[in-house]
Structure 1
């Protein structure tokens, strides 16, 4: 299988709950290392005792790392093992705590097969002798090739809809032989390849399932915008409580330089944040995914190494990024790497990157229907309404467009205009400057848009036609429109 590439995750053993084993192993090694560094034998009172209970673990977690540290309330100690270490009191100086074990390789650096991710699925192919579930995609693809002489080309493109995709192929291969759909491998004639570029049915299945998965995740994200996104939540790295998700991500980036990419690209945000916090509770670094023995050591490690970001190789995070449902073969890691500045640049600018957050800067915005530009998207929308009679707010109300359908409409019009084409009737003019005349003469803008047109369903229009188009973020969202209407009603 030629699925070579950069997509991978840390080995599945690191994503399992083995933090206790790691802690015990580290604890057993520590006294020997201490005596080696000192060169002399220690008295019993000088040697750090082994952890024997949850209370002792919690005591270590809040900073009592020597026998001279003050004792804490046992009730508090017994419960801190289920709390975020960044929400615990820092009674001890982190700088005086022991360093992490540098001789242990970071799990993030471990080699892994390409496109490897953890799953749990049974082989759906007919006459399969395997009666055990497959726990990762590497084992599954090896099984297909070895036991069934079959390769699914670019199977990683379907990871977001893997089970229904394979189940469908299992049904198809029960009714017809594999030779009806697949072509022989050029390097091994006994192996067959199902390639969407050569199998029309496979391409159709992938498109339908990808679109279904995308629709589901966009519906979920829209519901989140109206519900969970407006709830309060405590910062992962301090005790500040933010009033909504926008404020939370802004705070974590500005105060802690925590980089998760573009917040608008996230879905199932509460589950995502819960996952990150569970890793911190298990004393696991979010980036290198190494597990530590105490909260102060973890805090010191993440601050010293600047590991306030998620592991780029861990495909466990793929399901939380809309880009994975949008472009087959391109995941959130590629998207963020291509569009966001380097982490070093972020670190250098972290002190003042949010200092002028509320200060408005000019955003030159081009009209959708003519070559004219305005100094802000708001002025561009006003220009389109006054000069062309194009009222986006009215159109959204007439068609009942949510946030994502509005994005599709803007990108579709922008794409058609870039081709000097009328977005209503499809007529092509010689130059964009002539489009305005065509719209006036043919009265195109007075014609209602077809709510069943194919472009509404085309996922490519969720991506901007022009990179960084200000119009995509410069329109009033549904909540803003509703609030304005409520205010008008109250004043009447």
Structure 2
């Protein structure tokens, strides 16, 4: 074997095999490799983002040198055993997609060749007495073979996750109860997820972005059964108190900082060692770095597409959609705003309320339910309920802050004013302007300390 090279540190002496050094040198010339140190913030106890992607498994983790083995959930016990008993350190364990297969691979390789062929040698207390120096071995992805193994395991896991996701998307045997109203849903998972988002303003994301959906829903249901808030994760004394808390605090959402949920989102499996936040921020940086970020000469704004409250008609301007609703459906949003003196936020809630009622084929005026949207619209027109709003307490609720359609451009046109500058000027003229009293200004100037200093 070629003589290794040695790098001296204040406390560690690291001896790298020549192959490893060659890989390190190649990284300096821009070759594609994972050799840069990756630094992650310390996560809260029990919330390791990478570890949370490991699904529960009965696979055993085997020691690389002896017959010791532990379940996957006790991996820290085996890693401690490797360090204390065999002086072996595995770098970035949290980035290994399948630790069981990883250990099995290296167990076989260590039987074929000496440990020093693959591992860097770390000499502890290198400046101290010889009898207190110990050699530890570091197995990391600076070794091309280790890097290729990690990437292969990551690719296999991604393929498994995508295959599982496709099965769930095509599955028609889904069966689950709603967590909030106990309504039963069968067929496809999207029916339940869309129901919770539409009826209870609780969304865990688009169905196509989620994997292991049954386990995800069971995890959330167990939290509710344990009287635990899904967002702040506080525990309450009874279900009524928990329900009131989540409603008043608008906590009908999951905690994005709880990395236990990461394994249920496909985006967390796309790149090795990267969370969805890092993937998205990296995409934004790439867009900014691509050319001159201040050059907007090629910008082409897409026309705004605003959808009518009652039908599928679309318009490119707000005036056109207001005119359409007024002429076609006899609905005047400006008039309702003026008659009821609606603020901006009340207009938002009113639009979202009407959108939701029409989507559910329910008359927003009398709350009567119909079998189809056509029957409901005929009822609204024939009964004269177009401009008939229910009691304000029915729709002026926090749940209608959340849009029924997330791309509802109609919400962008709402305002506190009527847009008439003359009205604004008339209102400004009503505000009295009181002139400043300067009668005592001369006396103040005479008594000023600055004036006295100038005289002296």
Under TM normalisation by the shorter chain, which class is it?
0.3 to 0.5
Greater strand fraction, Structure 1 or Structure 2: 2
What is the TM-score when the length of structure 2 is the normalising length?
A: 0.45
What is the TM-score when the length of structure 1 is the normalising length?
A: 0.42
Higher RCO (Cα < 8 Å, 6 or more apart):
1
**Could you say which structure has the larger radius of gyration?**
2
